Structure 1
Amino acid sequence: MKAEIIAVGTELLLGQIVNTNAQAISQQLADLGIDVYFQTVVGDNPERLRQAIEIGRGRADLLVFTGGLGPTQDDLTKDVLADYLGRPMGIHEPSMRVIEELFSSRGAHMVESNIRQAHLILGEGSDPLDNSTGLAVGNGIEDSGTLYMLLPGPPREMEPMLLGPGTAWLRSKLREERPLYSRVLKFAGIGESNLEAALIDLIDGQSDPTIAPYAKEGEVALRVSTKASSEEEAAIKINATVSVVAQRVGEHLYAQKDVPIEDSVVELLRNARKRLASAESLSGGLFGELITRVPGSSGEYVGGVITYTNLMKHKLLDIPMSQLEGDGAPGAISESTAKLMAENVMIITGADFGVALTGVAGPAESEGKPVGLVYFAVAEKGKETVVYTSHFKGVREMVRIRAVKSALYRLWQALKA
């Protein structure tokens, strides 16, 4: 079954709100085995909405609408679709009672326009979709072989309706559709282009399962998907593909679920009963922020210091000023300073691992060193400290996040060793 999502609202076209509904709907339809081929955004204009319906009906079996079910005159979705299908509109009495009771309980006057939220497109194959968190009733319609599902625009109303009565209605209309099963593989320490190059023959020759890479800042994901009649059948097909991927780029594969690398790092620390501390310069606490986003990370992360200036590196991490300043000094942005930062924060805090980052985030060079130059070190009790050098491209925030994600990857490698 092919589907198209039609989001209705001029505020979407103006960029006043973000269309998060399309993502939620696409994910749910995929889980049901329904392929979303198109997403359309149309303003609160009856003629353009009618055009969108006409186009969508010609290329999809299911049209899913969000928005335009409210009480105001620009909430036109039901009106336009009813007119397009040549169907009458009526009142859904259960919804009408909810609206009346709400206004009565508040002692407020209900204006005529509020009745619009109880409107329902009538006729054979039309079903109401209850709204458990709002007032506007949804609608599911089967007409001349095409399915139409009307959902409210606010996400707090749309998602419960979609996942509850909307999904139940769709299941009742599905016949031999097989659900789509997916697994997300997460990689670090490798860029999207290099990952694709390593797997290009699989990507070019894919049929079932399908594989698709996509990048996040400092990480890359690979979605492996297949349609199957059961979870067990899907697992057999997906596992075969994952095995091939792992043979080629397993040293970068940190998770088989959609989690950031800091989650995997904390999990490895927890399993090994090890504790971590950090010392940051250019990243300004971003490393510690990502680690502490992980629930329960206080058991593994003892803390960190932000030593942005040389004075703080000297006072808090006991790094000699002769290391940081003066003729012939390596400077704060150096391999040897990163090494001392990682080792000293580990010693001072009593942690098992120390991670340090120092470098030039930009916008201008520092100590005569270029923007994007970063040194990060991983110290571990009883082992030789390892220092890495990288040159990151991009604006200041891109350099910082890429540096932190790279440091997390190197820590992950150390924990996996």
Structure 2
Amino acid sequence: MKAEIIAVGTELLLGQIVNTNAQAISQKLAELGIDVYFQTVVGDNAARLRQAIEIGRSRADLLLFTGGLGPTQDDLTKDVLADYLNRKLILHEPSMKTIEELFTSRGMAMVESNRRQALMIEGSEALHNATGLAVGNALKADGTLYMLLPGPPKEMKPMLEGPGQEWLRSMLGDEKPLFSRLLKFAGIGESNLEAKLLDLIDGQHDPTIAPYAKEGEVSIRVSTKAANAEEANAKIDATVDLIRARVGEHLYAQEDIPIEEQIVKLLRRSRRRLASAESISGGLFAELVTNVPGSSGEFAGGVVTYTNAMKNKLLGIPMSQLEGPDAPGAISESTAKLMAENVRLIADADFGVSLTGVAGPAEAEGKPVGLVYFAIAEKGKETVVHTATLSGGRSIIRLRAVKAAMYRLWQALKE
């Protein structure tokens, strides 16, 4: 089954609100095995909405609307669709009763326009609104399915998850649901990952392989339609094994979690603790780790030592290491090593992580923008220092540096 989502509201076109409904609806339809091929946003204009319906009907089996079910004159969705289908709008008495009772309980006179929220298209099934007043509609006409949901997410989501989902399932027949697994990668860029898997991606059929990327993370979604989870997992596992054989050293999770969450899980499992010393990243490493719920048991603490004086005072880095004509400087492998080792000892932790480098906008200590050193000091083992040359603006370099350090820490924990 092919679906098109039609979001109605001029405020969406003006950028006054973000269309989060489309994301929630797409995810739910994917779970049901319904393919979303198009998403349309149209303003509160009857002619343009009718045109969107005509176009959508020509290319989709299901048109799912959000917005335009309210009491005002610019809430046109039901009116336009009813006119397009040559059907009447009728009053849904249970919804009307709920509206009247609400106004009575508040001691307010009901404005007549509120009756519009209880109207439904003739021949449609009412979708109960558990958190608002506007009744939803679901119907099949001339071979096309139509579902009308409210615009406010707090009303739309419960309606979709409840009666909306039940109605859609009843319309699916033998349609198989979609099962997906998200693979999360670190320490490799999107283009490099794709290059290593290009033949698998080009030759995909079932399961399908789709790469995704956002700053600091790369993901692959493996999807298949199957009668049940057992059948789906067997198909997905076979594809994941092929991917792991190519890039398994970068595959840190088979669920949608950031690498810092996986790091906390591994620390917890091995009953070890972590501390950090940051310069270039300004505390971003510690922030991301402590964003993971319950990480206080695994993260001993961190320090941000931006100046040489603070590196000396808090971490005990000798000034002769940091300054002087023959000094390695704050931005060096040896300083990164000392920062990681010393913060681990100070915090009595099992791991110490350090980051130092140049985020820009200008060079520092004669070192170019993007040069980063980060070290992993592990109790009982020799400290390992890594060097990276990163591109991007100041904030991007900092984030990429932190994610690179986390990848190396994950490797150490995994081993």
Q: Normalising TM by the smaller chain, what interval?
A: over 0.9
1:97 paired with 2:97, answer yes
Alignment partner, residue 336 of structure 1: 334
Post-superposition Cα deviations, 1:172-191, rounded to whole Å, max 9, x if no partner, equal 11111000000000000000
Take 1:135 and 1:328, find their aligned partners in 2: how far apart are those partners?
75
Take 2:236 and 2:403, find their aligned partners in 1: how far apart are those partners?
27
Alignment partner, residue 19 of structure 1: 19
Summarize the alignment of residues 254-333 of structure 1 with structure 2, pairs less than 5 Å apart: 254-333=252-331
Q: Secondary structure at the match of 1:108?
A: coil
Aligned partner of 1:305: which letter? Answer: V
Take 1:18 and 1:311, find their aligned partners in 2: how far apart are those partners?
46
Q: Secondary structure at the match of 2:368?
A: coil
Q: Secondary structure at the match of 1:378?
A: strand
Q: Secondary structure at the match of 2:302?
A: strand
TM-score (norm: length of structure 2): 0.99
Post-superposition Cα deviations, 1:72-112, rounded to whole Å, max 9, x if no partner, equal 11111111101111110011111111111111111122211
Summarize the alignment of residues 2-81 of structure 1 with structure 2, pairs less than 5 Å apart: 2-81=2-81
Alignment partner, residue 129 of structure 1: 127
Aligned partner of 1:167: which letter? Answer: Q
Take 1:253 and 1:282, find their aligned partners in 2: how far apart are those partners?
27
Q: Secondary structure at the match of 2:130?
A: coil
Aligned partner of 1:109: which letter? Answer: A
Percent identity reads 77
Runs of 4+ with deviation above 2 angstroms: none
Alignment partner, residue 169 of structure 1: 167
Give the superposition deviation at 1:333.
Answer: 1.0
Take 2:221 and 2:186, find their aligned partners in 1: how far apart are those partners?
15
Give the superposition deviation at 1:114.
Answer: 1.3
Take 2:119 and 2:395, find their aligned partners in 1: how far apart are those partners?
49
Take 2:321 and 2:302, find their aligned partners in 1: how far apart are those partners?
21
Take 2:5 and 2:149, find their aligned partners in 1: how far apart are those partners?
11
Alignment partner, residue 139 of structure 2: 141
Q: Secondary structure at the match of 2:277?
A: strand
Q: Secondary structure at the match of 1:4?
A: strand
Deviates most, 94-103 or 144-153: 94-103
Give the superposition deviation at 1:156.
Answer: 0.8
Take 2:360 and 2:101, find their aligned partners in 1: how far apart are those partners?
60
Alignment partner, residue 379 of structure 1: 377
Give the superposition deviation at 1:56.
Answer: 0.2
Post-superposition Cα deviations, 1:256-307, rounded to whole Å, max 9, x if no partner, equal 1111001110011011110000011111111111111111111100110111
Summarize the alignment of residues 113-262 of structure 1 with structure 2, pairs less than 5 Å apart: 113-123=113-123, 126-262=124-260
Aligned partner of 2:341: which letter? Answer: E
Alignment partner, residue 349 of structure 1: 347
Aligned partner of 1:37: which letter? Answer: Y
Post-superposition Cα deviations, 1:36-61, rounded to whole Å, max 9, x if no partner, equal 01000111111000000000000000
Take 2:108 and 2:321, find their aligned partners in 1: how far apart are those partners?
73
